[in-house]
A = this chain, B = another copy of it.
């Protein structure tokens, strides 16, 4: 006797035409057997465009209430205010929303989920919404979560080297245009020469980003902190379930297209050994140990871009603290940092729905 066919859940992708949306469609095409119908949704401006999904052309429809009829799960990758307005509308129709905006991340009734770290949290969603963390948090948290599970994290000091695609297509276009400008020049050698050459063509960044690093990301919060830094602190605490974790982060934009890197100084509850830390990193799901400086092996964005895992290298025990570890971590900010983690959360929900 044939088994009863399993109804595969229906998915809506809201914000299908952005830079994260493009990566999401690739991932959905690779994970083609999870979902039944997939609806691609965007702003009215993008409605009617055709995008390739699972080898077929799919027409983008405009965001309205009715697009959620019969939908089981919706992934949102849209501006903050669009999520704030539309995620509750979808949720009210019984859709489980996986939202990649900051709108709900710190809401105590919305779980903030990284499937390798706190998958159980996805099941408790009083508002019908699950939040996807910020790309900078996601670029390191899988590795940090694995080490925390073993050693117990007490403190984190991190500095980011953030890629311009974190600022969307405009970020990438701005860097490419500035690179054309500086290529073949002597710019970057006298005070202000880059700023004068770039003029107001700084795109989403407050300063030229080619041949430069810019210690600012997001908007100004209290006491001089940037919103990006506050996100990394708040989200790391929430994901790890450590509301009092000491976290100090400085976020810096660098002229890299895609893949965020971070230096991490992590202090644990008790003594750590590099051997055990390396073992954890090498065996944790979603993490790759790439750490042999003698052979020139340490992760860089150029190697990591386009890949799924969190790459970890430069693993050292702090010289002056037997409970401390130093790491260099890279993660593709569009994949694990956004689209992949969103897809993974949605797949957790799909598995739950299919099992019911």
Chain A interfacial positions (CB closer than 8 Å to B): 155, 157, 159, 161, 176, 179-180, 182-184, 188-195, 206-208, 211-216, 220, 223-226, 233, 244-248, 250, 252, 254-258, 261, 263, 265, 274, 291, 293-294, 296, 298-307, 313-321, 324, 326, 328
Contact = CB atoms under 8 A, between A and B. Distances in A.
Contacts of A317: 223
Contacts of A326: 248, 250
Given A191-B306, A223-B317, A159 B246 contact: no
B188 A258 contact: yes
27 contacts: A159-B159, A159-B263, A161-B213, A180-B183, A188-B257, A188-B301, A189-B305, A191-B304, A191-B306, A191-B307, A206-B296, A208-B300, A208-B302, A212-B302, A213-B300, A213-B301, A215-B313, A220-B293, A224-B291, A224-B316, A225-B319, A244-B320, A248-B265, A250-B263, A250-B314, A250-B326, A265-B265
A326 B226 CA distance: 12
A195 B303 CA distance: 8
A294 B193 CA distance: 23
Given A255-B255, A328-B252, A316 B188 contact: no
Could you say which of A155, A220, A257, A274 has the most chain B C-beta atoms within 10 Å of its C-beta? A257
